[in-house]
Structure 1
C-alpha cells in the first residue's frame, strides 16, 4: 500500500509539472494576464477627472461641482490643478472640492442677493445675478491670493536658500544630497518644493524632468530662471557648482534691485494718503484757530 501511495503521488507530481509546463497552459495563463492588464488599462483611462470627480464628495456637493463644471471653460480642471500647485496644494483642497465650492458659492450668494432685493423684481434679479457671480469666482480669488502669498515667500527665501545650496555643493556634496540637506534644514514653501523635487527624483524621474516640473509649479521668475539654468547645465555638462555660484550672485543682485525699486515707489504710494488723510487734519489744526478768529472779528 505504501508503494502504491508513493507511486500515485509521484505520478500526480509529474502530471502537474507537465500541465504547468505545457504550451497550452502557458498560453492560457498569459492570455488571462493580458486580459487583466487590458481591463485595468480601460478602467484607468475611463476613470478620468470627470469620472472621479464625485469620489469623496456628498451627492449634493457632487451636483454643485457638476453645475460649476458646466459653467466653467473646458480647461478648468487643468487650470485649477496648476493654481493648486502654485498655492502649494493646501490640505483638503482638491480640484473637485474647489469646483463644488464654486457651485455652492453661486447658489448661496445668489439666494442672499435675492433676499436683499425683495423690494422689486428688477432689484432682486440684479442682486441675485451680482451675488451669484461674486460667489462663483470667490474660490478662484481665494486660491489666487493663497498662491500669490506663497510665491512672495518663495521669492524672499530664494537668495538665502541658493547660498546654502551653493555652499553644500562646493563642500563636496552631490546635488541631490545638497537639496536634501537644504530641504531638511530650512522651513517654508521653497524647502517643500525642493523636497518634492527630491522625492520625484527618487521615484525615477530624471533631474531635467524634476527641474522643469519645479519651474511649472511656480510663478517666480527668478526660480524659473534658476531651474532653466540647471537644466542647461545638465544637458551641456557644465559643473553644477559653478552654475549655482553664478545664480546665487545674480539672485543677490536682483534682490537688491527689487529693494531699490520698492524704495523708489514709496513716495508715489504715500502721496495719496498724505493728501487725503494727513493734510486735512494738519490744516484743521493749523488754520482752525485762525479761521475762528477771523469769523469772530467779522461778527
Structure 2
C-alpha cells in the first residue's frame, strides 16, 4: 500500500512538471523581464530629444529645484508682507552673497524648519527620550533650523563690517592722496576701487558705477552708507555730503576725515588691548589655575595623605 502511494506521488509530481513545461512552451510569447527592460532601453534611445533632455537632467534640477520652488511658495505664504524688506536689508549688509535672494531665504527657513524637525525627531527616537525631553529638543531644533538663514546672514554682515573697519583708514588715505595730487573725486574713487580689494573696494566700485549711470553723488554716497552698518563709514559719507552741499574743498575734508579715522583706529586698538585681561580671566580661573594647583600641590597632598594613612613611618 505504501509503495503504491509513493509511486502515485512520483507520477503526480512528474505530471505537474510536464504541465508546467507544456504551459510555458504553448503559451504566447510574451516579453519577460529582460525583454521589457530591452524594450524600455530601445524606447529611451529612440525617444525625442526633448524627452531625453528631461530624463538626462541632473538630480538637482529634476527634484531639488521643484522642491525649492514649493518651499519658496510656502515661505511667501508664511512670511509677513514687510519681511521681504527686512530680508533685503540683511542681504545688503551681508554683501548680497551669491545665490541668495529674499525668496530663497524664506524657502531656506521652511526647509531648515522641517529638516531640523525630522532630524531631531529621529535622534530623539533613537536615544529613547521620554515625551517632555523629546518635545523640548524637537522644538529647540526646529526653531534653530528656522533661524539658521538669519544667523548666517548676521555672521556674514559681522565679518563684512570687520573687513570694512580694517580697510577704511587705508582707503581714505589713498583717496586723500589722489585728490590732493590733482585728480577729481570720481577718478580718486576709481583709483581706490582699482588698487584695493575686499568689500570696501566693491562698495567704492558700485559707488562709481552709480555715478557713471547718472545718479547724483549725494544719493550714491547715501546709498553706500545705507548698505553698511559701520559708524565710521557713515560719518565719512555724512562729511562728504555736507562738503558737497556747502562747497567745501574735498581735499580738506578728506584730510580731516583721514586724521580722525586714524585716531579712532588707534583708540579702538587700545580698547581691544584693555579688554584682554578681562577676557583671559575666565580661562585663567577655570583652566590654567586648576592645572597649576594640581602640579604644585599634588605631590604635597599625596604625602599628607600617606602620612595620615600611616604608610610612612
The residue aligned with 2:101 is: 94
Q: TM-score normalized by structure 2?
A: 0.75
Q: Per-residue displacement from partner, 1:52-77 (whole Å, max 9, x unpaired)?
A: xxxxx933212222333343343221
Q: TM-score normalized by structure 1?
A: 0.78
Q: Per-residue displacement from partner, 1:105-127 (whole Å, max 9, x unpaired)?
A: 01100111222233445444433
SS in structure 1 of the partner of residue 139 of structure 2: helix
1:156 matched to 2:166? The reply is yes
1:165 matched to 2:175? The reply is yes
Distance 2:141 2:307 in 1: 56
Q: Per-residue displacement from partner, 1:163-182 (whole Å, max 9, x unpaired)?
A: 00000000000000000011
Q: Per-residue displacement from partner, 1:67-105 (whole Å, max 9, x unpaired)?
A: 333433432211111111111111111112111111110
1:284 matched to 2:294? The reply is yes
Structure of larger gyration radius: 2
SS in structure 1 of the partner of residue 98 of structure 2: coil
1:259 matched to 2:297? The reply is no
1:197 matched to 2:181? The reply is no
The residue aligned with 1:110 is: 117
Which one of the candidate residues 54, 65, 90 is aligned to 1:83?
A: 90
SS in structure 2 of the partner of residue 292 of structure 1: helix
SS in structure 2 of the partner of residue 168 of structure 1: helix
The residue aligned with 1:53 is: none
The residue aligned with 1:296 is: 306
The residue aligned with 1:140 is: 150
Distance 2:301 2:74 in 1: 64
Q: Is the 8 A contact 2:171 2:192 kept in 1?
A: yes
SS in structure 1 of the partner of residue 300 of structure 2: helix
Q: Is the 8 A contact 1:65 1:102 kept in 2?
A: no
The residue aligned with 1:233 is: 243
Unaligned ranges ≥5, structure 2: 1-63
Q: Is the 8 A contact 2:113 2:146 kept in 1?
A: yes
Q: Per-residue displacement from partner, 1:172-209 (whole Å, max 9, x unpaired)?
A: 00000000011001111100100000001111100000
Which one of the candidate residues 65, 75, 83 is aligned to 2:72?
A: 65
Distance 1:284 1:252 in 2: 47
Compare 275-284 and 66-75 and name the one that shifted more: 66-75
Q: Is the 8 A contact 1:67 1:103 kept in 2?
A: yes
Distance 1:91 1:254 in 2: 33
Q: Is the 8 A contact 2:84 2:102 kept in 1?
A: yes
Distance 2:144 2:74 in 1: 16
Distance 2:286 2:124 in 1: 34
Distance 1:78 1:286 in 2: 60
Which one of the candidate residues 219, 224, 242 is aligned to 1:209?
A: 219
